[in-house]
Amino acid sequence: MKMNLKTELRKSWIIMIKEFRQIIRKKAFMIPMFMFPIIMIIFFGYGMGGTVKNADILIVNDDTGTASGSIIREIGSFIPRYGDPRMFSVTYTKDLSQNEAERKIDAGLYKAVLIIPSDYSERVAKNESVTLTLLTDSSDTTSSGLIINFMRQLFSGTTGSHVLLKIPDIYGKLQYIDFLTPAVIALTVFFGTIQTMGYAIAGERQDGTLVRIMMTPVSRGAIILGKTLHQLVLQLARAVVLILAAIVLFGVTMNGSWLLVALVLIIFTFGAVGLGMAISAVSEDMLSFQAISMLVAFPSMFATGVFYPLSSAPDWMRWIAYIVPLTYANDAMRTIMIKGQGLGSIAHDLIILIFFGIFYFALGVYLFRREA
Amino acid sequence: METIIEVRDLTKIFMARRVKITAVDHVSFEIYKGEIFGMIGPNGAGKSTIFAMLTTLVRPTGGSIKVAGLDVNRNAEKIREIIGVVPQQHSLYPDLTARENLELMGNLYDVPKKIMEERIKYYLGLVNLKTHADRLTGGFSGGMKQRLSVISAVIHDPEIIFWDEPTTGLDPQTRQAIWKLALKFNKEGKTLIFTTHYMDEADKLCNRVAIMNAGKLMALDNPDSLKKASNSTSLEEVFIHLTGEEIRD
Ligand SMILES: Nc1ncnc2c1ncn2[C@@H]1O[C@H](COP(=O)(O)OP(=O)(O)OP(=O)(O)O)[C@@H](O)[C@H]1O
Ligand SMILES: [Mg+2]
């Protein structure tokens, strides 16, 4: 480390340019790398987020009059598309508090509970506004999104009085694809970084070229920095392409700031680079690298709430999720992209990601140096 | 004669799956400035390990090494600037062209752009690779790769050159081309240290030859004196005499 900073940076730059040259020539690597997330969004987004069939709905009808009857009939017989089965399978009850209703949703008995107040008919008759409460299982974004949409349409069609729908704990019209996309981007960056890092270190060691550049007057630090810069640029470019593709192809919402997205991804990529480096250092060749990285990456794909909200995962899986950085990146990405929130709302995620980033990066650098 | 490399009591012990392997065992010698120094010895004798330590890649377990007066443990990066290394395994980037490989090395050694371009042109011509300059090296033959490796190690005009088995597996034409390069560098005053399994090559090129066996230095002298000392007519006889007849793993 007796070299000055300028030299270090120049050498890192040389390494970074070299990495880009190599990766751009790897068409068989680059094309799938960009296609993978798009395919994932298509298959999971449309495969899993389609229509809802026979969703169990509980209607708590406390109405003392008869005006609610028509709504109830309409819900019960709704058929979303020609030939499809009925959308809802409706159960009726009376005198159930909101708390009790929530517990039924928690237990997974119903996808939604609609509570009709006792003064419903009375108010409708007097042309006064009336508020209905709709509780949905927001952990199932597919169903809850469709149910909310449906109910909104139904009540906006009611003539005369204002029927207000109160929907606790829901962020508007959330569709599965909106829910999926931010996390797929984080996941893609995570997988992509680890993969390319493996190619850049384990692969280069297998080729004997790593030893070769270590014999030149380039510090280990400059090699690491060069490879890290390459990853940051590559992954950010990839994320931008993906978000644009998701907006154009699937009409995904991007409510938040691009800068914040970049910030989250930069911090997250740092950690992933470190992890990739650590895995490279402990694996003998590309094949064992692939095996180990699959072992690390695959569970994080399912345990971190990419495909479904963490709240619906079993306890033991949630515990795994807490120690996997992807969980926090997913949360931060969703908070920015869907809810359009600012720095304040993702601060806790960022702090944890920075902590993970430092930890994995330090571990990666340590293992990489020790090996040399 | 001026000493350029000084090796004292050098030892390297590897731990491989809880088994101690003494790859280099208390070896001492000097290499003089401007000489062609050969290192021969059966497989596993420790030649490449000594190279790795001399070129700052591997830390010695014991002993000391001074290269151009600099200690390998303390001045590794300074030493790397004045040495050029061709490792035993090919180590070119298969997905870069020959020219890009050379440019990468030149840049990492901070060779000024203009001088670098001139040298690249000159050396590519010298090893007959001019017409392949812009091909990816992944598609090169063994001989082409070796010729490129050899020149990629001298693009920064190093004072000391290390070649680990530069001619293994090459046809006679390529071997001769590499010998020519060796003599050319020698004429320019560079110090050249290389290993080989071809006794004729060592005999022909080297000012002095070190014979290694199982991590130990068995003999070190000029080829003629070595032959005289053991009453042999060829270096091969000396070699067998000093290192025995059984095959190593
Ligand atoms: N990284 C390593 N880890 C463990 N053992 C090693 C390592 N490198 C070399 N060795 C061992 O050290 C000994 C010397 O190996 P070295 O490669 O230096 O021999 P060599 O003289 O170059 O042989 P060859 O002529 O076959 O190239 C061998 O027994 C080898 O197995
Ligand atoms: Mg060897």
Please report the pLDDT score of residue B115 as a whole number: 95
Which stretches of chain A sit within 8 Å of chain B by CB? 2-3, 7, 11, 14, 18, 21-22, 25-26, 207-209, 211-219, 372
- Cβ contacts of A25 on chain B, cutoff 8 Å: 95, 136
Tell me whether residue A17 is in a domain.
no
Q: What is the mean pLDDT of residues B189-207?
A: 92
Name the residue at shortest CA distance from atom 24 of ligand 1. B43
Contact (Cβ atoms closer than 8 angstroms) between residue A155 and residue A162: no
Task: Look at A172 and B8; give whichever has higher pLDDT.
Answer: B8
Tell me whether residue A15 is in a domain.
no
Which of these three, A166, A186, A205, is where a domain ends?
A166
Please report the pLDDT score of residue A81 as a whole number: 43
> In terms of residue numbers, what domain contains A139?
55-166
Are A198 and A323 in the same domain? yes
Please report the pLDDT score of residue A245 as a whole number: 84
Contact (Cβ atoms closer than 8 angstroms) between residue A306 and residue A184: yes
Tell me whether residue A309 is in a domain.
yes
Please report the pLDDT score of residue B113 as a whole number: 93
Are A137 and A258 in the same domain? no
Are A162 and A180 in the same domain? no
Please report the pLDDT score of residue A134 as a whole number: 86
d(CA A353, CA A8): 27
Are A134 and A180 in the same domain? no
Contact (Cβ atoms closer than 8 angstroms) between residue A138 and residue A310: no
Identify the bridge partners of residue B39 per DSSP, sorted by sequence position.
Answer: B195, B210
Which of these three, A166, A192, A209, is where a domain ends?
A166
Tell me whether residue A205 is in a domain.
yes
Contact (Cβ atoms closer than 8 angstroms) between residue B68 and residue B79: yes
Ligand 1: residues with CB < 6 A are: B 14, 16, 21, 23, 41, 43-49, 88
Q: What is the mean pLDDT of residues A36-44?
A: 76
Q: Locate tokens 């700031």: which residue?
A: A257
The answer on pLDDT for A50 being more than 90 is no
Are A152 and A207 in the same domain? no
pLDDT band at residue A45 using 50, 70 and 90 as cut-offs: low
Q: Locate tokens 């000159």: which residue?
A: B122
The answer on pLDDT for A2 being more than 60 is no
Are A190 and A315 in the same domain? yes
Provide the 3-class DSSP secondary structure of residue A352.
helix
Q: What is the pLDDT of residues A78-104, one digit of tens each?
A: 554 444 455 677 888 888 888 888 888
Tell me whether residue A136 is in a domain.
yes
Average pLDDT value for chain B: 91
pLDDT band at residue A151 using 50, 70 and 90 as cut-offs: confident
The C-alpha torsion from B197 through B205 and B239 to B221, rounded to 10°, is -140
The answer on pLDDT for A160 being more than 60 is no
Q: What is the pLDDT of residues A194-251, one digit of tens each?
A: 888 888 888 888 888 888 888 888 888 889 899 999 999 998 998 888 888 888 877 7
- Cβ contacts of A22 on chain B, cutoff 8 Å: 93, 95-96
Name the residue at shortest CA distance from atom 7 of ligand 1. B14
Closest CB to B109: pick one of A209, A216, A372. A216
Provide the 3-class DSSP secondary structure of residue A128.
coil
Name the residue at shortest CA distance from atom 3 of ligand 1. B14
Tell me whether residue A207 is in a domain.
yes
The number of folded domains in chain A is: 2
Q: How far, in whole angstroms, is CA B101 from its chain's centroid?
A: 20
Tell me whether residue A124 is in a domain.
yes
- Check CB contact under 8 Å for A18 and B104: yes
Please report the pLDDT score of residue B160 as a whole number: 95
Which ligand 1 atom is the nearest neighbour of the CA of B47? 21
- Assign residue A128 the CATH number of its domain: 3.40.1710.10
Which of these three, A148, A166, A184, is where a domain ends?
A166
Contact (Cβ atoms closer than 8 angstroms) between residue A255 and residue A172: no
Please report the pLDDT score of residue A317 as a whole number: 78
Q: What is the mean pLDDT of residues B190-196?
A: 94
C-alpha Rg value of chain A to the nearest Å: 26
**Cα dihedral across residues A59, A64, A68, A73: positive or negative:** positive
Q: What is the pLDDT of residues A318-367, one digit of tens each?
A: 788 888 888 899 888 888 887 677 888 788 899 999 999 999 889 988 88
Name the residue at shortest CA distance from atom 18 of ligand 1. B46
Please name which ligand lies nearest the alpha carbon of B43: 1
Question: Is the model's pTM score more than 0.80?
Answer: no
Are A229 and A128 in the same domain? no
| DSSP, residue by residue, A266-299 | HHHHHHHHHHHHHHHHH-SSHHHHHHHHHHHHHH
Closest CA in chain B for residue A223: B108
Closest CA in chain A for residue B55: A215
Which stretches of chain B sit within 8 Å of chain A by CB? 55-57, 77-78, 80-81, 83, 85, 87, 89-96, 100, 104-105, 107-110, 136
Are A192 and A142 in the same domain? no
DSSP annotation of B132: G
Please report the pLDDT score of residue A158 as a whole number: 54
Query: Cβ-count burial of A199 within 10 angstroms (0-12 exposed, 13-18 middle, 19+ buried)?
Result: buried
d(CA B6, CA B11): 14
Distance from CA of A30 to the nearest CA of B (A): 14
Please report the pLDDT score of residue B64 as a whole number: 93
Please report the pLDDT score of residue A340 as a whole number: 73
Q: What is the mean pLDDT of residues B103-113?
A: 93
Contact (Cβ atoms closer than 8 angstroms) between residue A264 and residue A329: yes
d(CA A198, CA A205): 10
Task: Look at A139 and A66; give whichever has higher pLDDT.
Answer: A66
Tokens of B186: 């020698």
% of chain A with per-residue pLDDT over 90: 9
Identify the bridge partners of residue B32 per DSSP, sorted by sequence position.
Answer: B3
Name the residue at shortest CA distance from atom 26 of ligand 1. B43
Are A100 and A180 in the same domain? no
- Check CB contact under 8 Å for B108 and A211: no
d(CA A235, CA B136): 26
- The least confident of A139-153, A165-179, B12-26, B162-176 is A165-179
Are A158 and A183 in the same domain? no
The answer on pLDDT for B2 being more than 80 is yes
Are A286 and A341 in the same domain? yes
Tell me whether residue A77 is in a domain.
yes
So what's the ipTM on this one? 0.81
Closest CA in chain B for residue A26: B95
Cα dist. A347→A264, A351, A358 in Å? 10, 6, 16
Tokens of B158: 């190093």
Residue B227 Cα to ligand 2 middle (Å): 24
% of chain B with per-residue pLDDT over 70: 100
Are A179 and A158 in the same domain? no
Closest CA in chain B for residue A1: B77
> How many other CB atoms sit within 10 Å of the CB of residue A219?
18
N residues, chain A: 372
| DSSP, residue by residue, A210-271 | HHHHHTSS--HHHHHHHHHHHHHHHHHHHHHHHHHHHHHHH-----S-HHHHHHHHHHHHHH
Closest CA to B116 of B99, B133, B130, B131: B99
Tokens of A194: 């680890």
Average pLDDT value for chain A: 79
